[in-house]
Structure 1
């Protein structure tokens, strides 16, 4: 019997809700994506910072500018003072002085997945900030957005609903029967020098069905399709970052098969840590089963990263201590702490690394930047340890 005090929710009601939600999303996107405007990187670095980033003295840079090996620096037409160097200028200096950190041709590009089957643990946050940190250091980075929610795609300046065609721009065509033979068709330059992107949008979800349909008859092809695609482009990059969907599906399994290193974000609370424990158990069992069909996979490293840590919450501190005890060799030393700076940047589809102006001079921003740098520096060292050409430098730095 129908309850008159609680009227049923009809399909028409659901359509109304969806329309209203779309309206809100549209307004948010109008605010973030100005019509006809591309997202740009406004970072500028003074001479002192440039010298630090390049690894040469200020005098060496000035001498190179004076003798024409480097172009004249940009100056304010009114004050005739230097306006600072863009990241492209920094990389030009690194090229001149031979301080680019690229892997040698004899080293393999690292394919790093930021993986956890649970949503809301900070995967996209880690992917975007790590990609930009590595770009600031001079590495060549490719970000592959494998999540149909397309958060990473949005942060890198593309509107998934407008700028991305699932039939041409995402991984989906590559997964279809008779699709492209390489991933070059999907690579896009971004406003960040040295960061390329393979974007995503909601249409990528169809790849799950495509995979499921082919799994019975082409198991090994489906499992390693993403890995074979990455093989066609990895010679162009030092690091390839994978942002998988927050679910145990065919795309997530493909990411696990394609990656040769894993970082697992795990907030130190009971629910998220419990989910991470289940993830590790499921991953082990699933990878063992997949190995029967497509061969075993090994990872250069696997690390668990504490995310969204709040030192003022005793439960967070206690669970983090337990995580360190349970995973003494696998926990990262650095922790990504909960920060309003990250939340505020995310609300504007941006990151802490591209914040400019007075906001960068606050103590809150400086603390957040320090947390991010510590996390990303630790991952950078792990990456470099996979490249034999970096061993002498790592020994000199006391890191090997």
Structure 2
């Protein structure tokens, strides 16, 4: 590690490393890991292993069954979990559940936490976050939100009827809880909580994507006449966009933590290969063309880790750190992508096959430069603050 850790965090890092190596990596060839992520039975088996090891939900508060780690602690735990593509699933720190748990902890009522947060933190249910829409709806520009929540008053009492279409909804297939962003007329964007089995919700299809590490894949979800009571509102009416930032700021950073672990795994595989594969009379790692790529990898991994831990420390001070998380998202997503790309190159023909885990990491990681805001949007946002003279 390049970061000074407390003895407790250093011991936790070692525990998770051993758990991932002994319990999770041997399961990576399990046939229940399909094109739309680990199937429910595999996910349950992974979660059960972490539960028995005392490593489940390191980010969640103790009162909900988690380990109550700080953001710096999460940086350590999530990186080690990410060393296997199944690790975040096992520790229950994968997206979108990890971000949704953070949001519920910050905003939900005690009754909503009891109904949804506790079973999520205990690994019994999954969730999805329904915000992104096909054109002309909301994507990188949330103000284009098309899904509506119309107030109604009928025999069932006061409530809302939600209509709209969402897509790229990670984890929708098999999720129990949906957090829906919808526009309430004359009020503004508002979040709602609902059981995915509620009439009026249809999972139209799963989208075929490059990545396959998220349980439930990425779905297209339609809401048609979805009737929800006023008690389903998460937080306050009209505060949806603000709550989205409460969720997204740390969620961008935890993505970075997990993918740093995956990049480190790819690098380790490439280093082992470079030490043993011979060409022109010596190991290929002794040739500058390969050796320099490995050196560049180490520098990118180092910068990524320093960036993550700096931003985590800012969050631990109680600051929302929107600009810090945007900056970290771009720095880390592009750094780990370069690492994965170089590892494919070092491995040569093996790098584009399933003979090692590198091709899988490469494929899954490409989407990270888009999820939670593409690099271009973050650069645009940062540039606006720079031009205005803000730090």
- TM-score class, shorter-chain normalisation, is under 0.3
Q: TM-score, normalised by structure 1?
A: 0.24
Q: TM-score, normalised by structure 2?
A: 0.25
Structure showing the higher strand proportion among its residues: 2
